[in-house]
C-alpha cells in the first residue's frame, strides 16, 4: 500500500516521505480549519436583500451550523480531488475576501440563492477558460515577479487577519494609521499572551529544524489556550454586556459539550443560477460575475505559484508546475462547487 501511494503521488521522487506528507497534511488541516469557524461568521451574520440570512433563517447566525458543516464537506472533497486528480499538494477551501465581498456587496442586492448562482456561473466560466487554454496562457504570460507578488500579498492579507484575531493589532478607528498594536499601543490580555507563546515556540522549533515544528506549535498553543480560558474565564471579545477588549476573537477556546453531532447539509443546492440577472439587471450581474472571476483567477495564480515554489515543483524559470492544467480544472470545479453548496467560492 505504501509503495502504491509512493508511486502514484511521486513522494520519494519529489524528495519527501509518507511520514512527512502526513505531518504536512495535518499542519495544513490545522492551519486552514479556521475557515470552518470564520466562514459562518462572515456569511451567517449578513441578511440578503429580502432580510433573510443564509440558511433560511430570519436571525443572524441561524444557519451557522449548516454553513460550517458544508464548508468542511466541500473543502474536504475538493482537496482530495486536487490530490488524486492533479497530484498537487494544494488544499482548497472557501476563500477569504471573496466570501466577505459576497456577503457585504452582493447579497445585499439580491437573495442568497441569487448570490450563490453568481458563484456557480463564475466557476463555470473559469472552467471554460481553462479547457480552452486561455487561463493557462494568461498564467504563463504573467511575469514570475508579479505572480510571486500576488502570493506575498495573499500571505500578508492572512497575516493581518491572524494578528487582528489574536488581538496583537487592532483597528484604531482613524484613517491613518488604520491599525495599531494592542490596546492603545500596549500588548495586553491572555489571547495575546497565548499568541506570542505559540509564535515564539514555532519560530524556535522551525529554526532548530525540528520535524513537525508548526504542528507541535499549533497543538501546544491550542492546549495552552484551553487551559488559560478554563482558569481565567476571559470570555469572548463581545458579550451581551458590551465589548471585552481583552477577550478571545472568533471563538472561545474551550472543550465542546459534545464531540460528535450529525451535520446538516441542507445548504447544498440552494442557488438560483440566473436570479441575480432579474434582480439587479444584466449589466450589474455581469460585472459582479467578472469581479468574482478576476479575484478567483489571480488568487489561484498566486497560491499555485507559492505552493509550487515551496514544494520545488515549479519550473526553473518560475513557471507553472507539471500538470498545471489539471490543477486549474480542479480549482475551477471547486469554485462552482462552492456556489452549488451555498458557501461561496
pLDDT tens per residue across span 287-327: 999 999 999 988 888 899 888 888 888 887 767 788 889 99
Residue 308 in any domain: the answer is yes
* Cis omega (within 30 of 0) for bond into 157: no
Cell numbers 494568461 correspond to what residue? 138
Helix (H) or strand (E) holding 287: helix 282-311
Residue with cell 442568497: 112
For the chain, which ranges sit under pLDDT 50? none
pLDDT at site 192? 95
Q: Mean pLDDT, the chain, as a whole number? A: 91
Q: CA–CA separation, 68 vs 162, rounded Å?
A: 19
Structural domain contains residue 298: yes
Q: Is 135 helix (H, G, I), strand (E, B) or coil?
A: helix
- At 1 the pLDDT is 63
Q: Which residue has the cell 497534511?
A: 25
Number of domains the chain contains:
1
Q: What is the pTM of this model?
A: 0.89
* Within-domain flag for 211: no
Which pLDDT score is estimated for 7? 85
Residue 233 domain flag: no
Q: What is the pLDDT of residue 88?
A: 92
- Cell (9 digits) for 143: 511575469
Q: Which helix (H) or strand (E) holds 242?
A: strand 242-243
**189-204 tens-digit pLDDT:** 999 999 999 999 999 9
**CB atoms < 10 A from the CB of 230, how many?**
12
Expressed as residue numbers, the domain containing 127 is: 2-143+261-341
Residue 138 lies in a domain: yes
Amino acid at each position: 500500500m505504501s509503495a502504491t501511494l509512493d508511486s502514484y503521488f511521486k513522494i520519494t521522487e519529489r524528495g519527501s516521505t509518507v511520514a512527512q506528507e502526513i505531518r504536512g497534511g495535518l499542519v495544513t488541516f490545522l492551519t486552514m480549519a479556521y475557515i470552518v469557524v470564520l466562514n459562518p461568521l462572515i456569511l451567517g451574520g449578513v441578511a440578503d436583500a429580502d432580510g433573510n440570512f443564509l440558511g433560511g433563517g430570519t436571525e443572524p447566525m441561524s444557519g451557522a451550523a449548516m454553513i460550517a458543516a458544508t464548508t468542511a464537506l466541500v473543502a474536504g472533497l475538493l482537496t482530495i480531488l486536487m490530490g488524486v486528480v492533479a497530484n498537487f499538494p494544494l488544499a482548497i477551501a472557501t476563500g477569504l475576501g471573496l466570501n466577505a465581498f459576497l456577503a457585504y456587496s452582493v447579497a445585499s442586492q439580491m437573495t442568497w440563492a441569487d448570490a450563490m448562482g453568481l458563484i456557480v456561473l463564475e466557476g463555470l466560466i473559469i472552467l471554460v477558460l481553462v479547457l480552452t487554454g486561455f487561463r493557462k496562457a494568461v498564467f504563463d504570460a504573467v511575469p514570475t515577479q508579479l505572480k510571486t507578488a500576488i502570493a506575498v500579498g495573499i500571505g500578508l492579507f492572512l497575516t493581518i487577519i491572524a494578528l487582528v484575531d489574536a488581538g496583537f493589532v487592532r483597528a484604531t478607528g482613524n484613517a491613518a494609521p488604520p491599525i495599531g498594536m494592542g490596546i492603545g499601543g500596549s500588548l495586553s490580555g491572555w489571547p495575546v499572551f497565548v499568541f506570542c507563546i505559540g509564535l515564539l515556540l514555532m519560530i524556535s522549533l522551525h529554526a532548530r529544524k525540528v520535524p513537525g515544528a508548526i504542528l507541535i506549535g499549533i497543538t501546544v498553543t491550542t492546549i495552552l489556550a484551553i487551559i488559560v480560558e478554563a482558569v481565567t474565564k476571559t470570555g469572548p471579545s463581545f458579550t451581551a454586556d458590551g465589548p471585552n477588549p481583552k477577550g478571545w476573537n472568533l471563538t472561545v477556546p474551550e472543550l465542546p459539550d459534545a464531540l460528535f453531532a450529525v451535520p446538516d447539509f441542507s445548504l447544498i443546492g440552494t442557488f438560483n443560477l440566473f436570479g441575480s440577472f432579474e434582480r439587479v439587471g444584466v449589466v450589474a450581474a455581469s460585472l459582479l460575475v467578472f469581479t468574482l472571476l478576476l479575484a478567483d483567477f489571480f488568487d489561484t495564480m498566486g497560491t499555485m505559484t507559492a505552493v509550487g515554489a515551496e514544494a520545488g515543483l515549479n519550473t526553473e524559470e518560475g513557471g507553472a508546475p507539471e500538470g498545471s492544467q489539471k490543477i486549474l480544472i480542479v480549482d475551477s470545479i471547486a469554485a462552482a462547487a462552492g456556489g452549488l453548496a451555498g458557501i461561496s467560492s
